[in-house]
Structure 1
Amino acid sequence: MNIHSHREVELLNVLRRLGGSARNTDLAVALNVSEETVRRAVKALSEGGAVTRVHGGVYLVDVEGDPSFFSRITRHKKEKHRIAVAVSDYVKDGMCLFLDVGTTTAFVAEELRGHSDLTIATNSLGVAQALANHNGNKVYLLGGEMQQDERGTFGSLTEAQTRTFAFDLAILSADALSASAGFMFSNANEAQLGKVAAEVSAKVLMVVDHFKFETRAPHRGIAPEQVDTLVTDAPPDDGLARVLAEAGVNIELAGLSPKGGEDG
């Protein structure tokens, strides 16, 4: 059993009050300490397995009644970060964006902090926390029924509010992707909200790591024909690649140069 210092206990308590995630700057204000003090405490908690770090922020690994998102965000962090960096190149200052509740999308939100004057509509608490009150952004946290395991809002109200926007780009995640069923989701409401966002977006970009290829989830989501680009970290197999090509989906391999080598 890990024994936490007083500062670490305080930080964990603040994280719980904030819903399980926060930026280091917000934690420093809440605790009335320097960001360096927060970083040291976060590092110790991360090494002990109590939290997971992302660029500029931190997530609880597990929250009572809310384990799903926090367990997923700890998986394949390197791949998700590579995808997020690639996605940031698609976003231009001043764009109107939809971002969903996916864990890969959470990494995307962190990368978008380098942009300015964005208009973002999202059903994700984490995305809103990352981008609100920063670089002139306008962030709209969509209403609806809160689902703690996804850290987001869903339902008819969420969908109705989504339809009031004209997005330049919808950035969507998925729980599974196969040649036979396309993009799939564990949550039926999430699958439906993605369809709504795609309907009111000029372009749709899917962010899916290769570990989800040829896996299954119970609910079909957006059709491949509605997707402009899939950003992923490794090539799909021939069958899946063929289906996506026939649907007109451009595949971008994050972190790979046009010649197929690793960037940087």
Structure 2
Amino acid sequence: MNAPATSDQKPADPPHVSHRGMEILDLITVSGGNMKIQSIASALDVSEETVRRNLKPLSASGLVKRVHGGVYLKQSSTELSFAQRMDENPRPKQRIAAHIAGLISDGSSLFLDIGSTTAFIAKALRTHKELLVVTNSVAVAHTLAAHNNNRVFMPGGELRAHDGGIFGAQVIDFIKPFHMDFAVLSTAAINATNGFMLFDLEEAHYSRAIIERASTRIIAADSSKFGRTAPISIGPASDVELLVTDAPPPADIAKAARDWSTEIVVAG
């Protein structure tokens, strides 16, 4: 007699995506799910051949479909995005998270955004007590709510499937009454010319709004973001007091940070 079939087979792991691959997926996502090769190359300031080379593993993994002169997302690609971000450079992000958690005292108030590094920070804050947290991230809220008398506030709006973030005009209206001790933000790219940048306009609007409403503004970013570019600035880099990262930046970014009066701390 045959043994009954079981359903406990481990699902396949999501495909690994490089940092450049994630940049391309982000660009295509915020462009509505499809994009021309030429437009991707222009946005990332790279050659079209570089874009095609980076699209090959994305296509082989089933995340995108290439067509003549362009590319579009397959249905599953946005669903995997946040999980892939959490799996990218986890140890540096954990060191960054531990350092930032050490700067925040029990009873503090803070904004947290939707970045994967921010999700690690939320985990590092789980032993803190009586925090007041405003976040548009479902992952952050789930991590910190109902722990140690923490109070977690979330805005209403559209819940995005690919990153668990809440966005929309009402999100900015919701946070207007708050003024917090800290704003802790992630970023997609850091360079000496344009400062801190993102691929998503709604994320940039949220970042600017919380920067304006916090006493201390902290960027949490691993060193893979150095020298990268993205199309949207989060605002004047001089508004950020502290950049916490995992490795010393290139000389041009270090000099720019001094000009911005932004302290750079390398988490041990």
The structure with the larger Rg is 2
SS in 2 for 1:89: helix
Of 178, 191, 206, which residue of structure 1 is paired with 2:219? 206
Paired letter, 1:146: L
Query: Does 2:218 align with 1:254?
Result: no
Identity of aligned residues (%): 34
Of 257, 261, 266, which residue of structure 2 is paired with 1:244? 257
Distance (whole Å) between structure 2 residues aligned to residue 5 and residue 172 of structure 1: 44
Moved more, 108-117 or 149-158: 149-158
Question: How does 1:42-81 map onto structure 2 within 5 Å?
Answer: 49=13, 64=76, 65-81=78-94
Q: How many residues align?
A: 206
Q: CA RMSD in A?
A: 2.1
Paired letter, 2:13: G
Spell out, residue by residue over 1:54-82, the C-alpha distance to the aligned partner (whole angstroms, 9 max, x if none). Answer: xxxxxxxx994522211111110011001
Considering Cα pairs closer than 8 Å and 6+ residues apart, tell me whether 1 or 2 has the greater RCO: 2
Distance 1:92 1:50, change over 3 A: same
Question: How does 1:150-161 map onto structure 2 within 5 Å?
Answer: 150-161=163-174
**Residue ranges of structure 1 left out of the alignment (5+ in a row):** 10-44, 53-61, 256-264
Question: How does 1:1-264 map onto structure 2 within 5 Å?
Answer: 6=7, 8=8, 49=13, 64=76, 65-255=78-268
- The structural deviation recorded for 1:49 is 2.6
Distance (whole Å) between structure 1 residues aligned to residue 229 and residue 262 of structure 2: 20
Distance (whole Å) between structure 2 residues aligned to residue 142 and residue 114 of structure 1: 24
- The structural deviation recorded for 1:222 is 3.0
- The structural deviation recorded for 1:5 is 6.1
Distance (whole Å) between structure 1 residues aligned to residue 130 and residue 225 of structure 2: 33
User: Is the 2:14–2:80 contact (alpha carbons within 8 Å) kept by the matching residues of 1?
Assistant: no
Paired letter, 2:135: T
**Residue ranges of structure 2 left out of the alignment (5+ in a row):** 17-62, 64-74
Paired letter, 2:125: L
Moved more, 189-198 or 138-147: 138-147
Distance (whole Å) between structure 2 residues aligned to residue 192 and residue 141 of structure 1: 16
Paired letter, 1:72: R
Q: Could you list the runs of 4 or more consecutive aligned residues of structure 1 that deviate by over 2 angstroms after TM superposition?
A: 48-52, 62-65
Distance (whole Å) between structure 2 residues aligned to residue 99 and residue 151 of structure 1: 13
Distance (whole Å) between structure 1 residues aligned to residue 219 and residue 235 of structure 2: 10
- The structural deviation recorded for 1:218 is 1.5
Moved more, 65-74 or 209-218: 65-74
SS in 1 for 2:197: strand
With normalisation by structure 1, the TM-score equals 0.74
